[in-house]
Chain A
């Protein structure tokens, strides 16, 4: 009860901030979407960081670490700590200058003007919107999950069911964005970022207090057994580890991140942001990954590992603290969700409504009304999709949004730094990205039934805590069978063979050896021959999706790979290739446009504006 009250009070504060921002706002789009380009350095950093942190940063990271170990930090956090500040430094600053000079509010406005083409903007808008919506849904799913789990009573039943939790989060986000616009979102983000930066450290310390021997004793026990795999990177192939450095390229291409760059008052706001960003990522991710691995030792056998952090909080911290920390998680969820919904509203208003005559017909006030109406409709749709979508937080976000946006980065780089780039190059890249996103989705769906099952954290330590576990929900070995083709593929208990035949028309299911659940490829499937990605004892070997194509398309427990690398690698390289090829084959933009973005006589003429 107490955690629920704390979280609900927090949500009420968020909604109130939105209403205060509403009273300060002006009735024009520049103010609603960009807070009149007046965001100061501290607010800019706090808000930009909150923009990029989703539920996946906390719930997904700990859940993934529970299954795959400490390598998740290097895989996602430190690669983001390297790439994202660089993209903000090189691309974000240029976007800010373009917005200041020419009044651009969205990336699409820039692309349309830069390549003298309305259609290319519409194509990029469509693809961006399609890829952003799943990312937005992730936040609502995360919010619903948190509220449900944190409100569980002693009997295990939630006071706030999942559907109601999603509804509450969606409602609060809507109120904040609808009334406050960018100003409301930025103010709330500052509060939220402080909360979730402190969240992890506080959680680690308090959970440690409830453990016999602390983390050292726990990890020492784990290191001596099969759970030791989680203390190293046995379950992360090196090809995947390297591939992941491409994923953070998506950050600056996410519309909400780019739009946030337009909102800074001065360019100097970017300085401290890029320096502090890696440290902030570490502050959020390190405790979550650490706790995810510790959770595998403390509460082994979870089917839905995304819930490990909440289980640790409810079982190893005082109730009042669990409430505050739950609010911290909710703040991560909502920080990004507010920005995503606002970004979709901005894009729809500026890139579609205004671009196709709405602004002229209905004026600024009408445009703001349209934007607010869009916020209502988009949130409602996202809410219903969240109720129907069974995919886990991590998979959903990565599969559809991150890879796609990362592969669009060459479009932005070409627009900013290559005079000779053309709309045809941009169009070819966009089509390539769209085809790859849907192709990857199809391959993933097709190969779900043959996916090898990943090992999970073994039950090394029964209970290292000194408190009674309330509703532990540990799945005992042999108690469940995970249906194939669902999101929790690879999360079956250790040693439990997957059960279930593939649907008709799908490739054959893997055969399972009777000992330890080790798998052999299904009939007609081959293991990769010598020369395929090197395997250690940790991750199960991938299977070939199309044996006739050899190792081109492999399927591991969680995703499709291409010669062992994540699809994002060929997607980014292909996108750059098509941009270069088609640009060289087609006529360059007019001299007037090139002069506009690359003024002659400028010693820094590689920069688009001076």
Chain B
């Protein structure tokens, strides 16, 4: 049985935000809500790393554990979804989530907080698959259309992988083994010069002069 997961390859992510844009466009997500975001560590410093973050569809989801009205549920594929008709917009899930996945629209039913919105792994919600009601509340149901999440399929560098955990783990493993690391990576010398940027001085002499090409 498939267990749907995301993996983001920090070595490949170029912070283009195409995943964010694809998600917003595919699901017509309103202003102020970002189901997916790109986070950059050491921004502007050589060796900076970016990672695309959204709901990770945890197997033992903290949001599900703290929800006082039990609006969350798992699908057969391990996707964490929620029912907006049950959600009371309390925000507990937002505190519990380590990834900041739950989002709240600035103009909603309950004062300024509104009902929670989050990444659905493009799997819709409890309404009938592909229905207009489902689209309005949760966005497109690409999984039921036999497609993978739009963010991963749109990723230009294929940094963001989505799909069955076994399959994408295999893709990622092959990639890591093939490309090597640091100055062994193709194009490193062009981007950062012959030395391995961001590494301690003592280790730089190991970098090949041509950047590993």
The answer to whether A and B assemble together is no
State the B residues within 8 Å of A (CB). Answer: none
State the A residues within 8 Å of B (CB). Answer: none
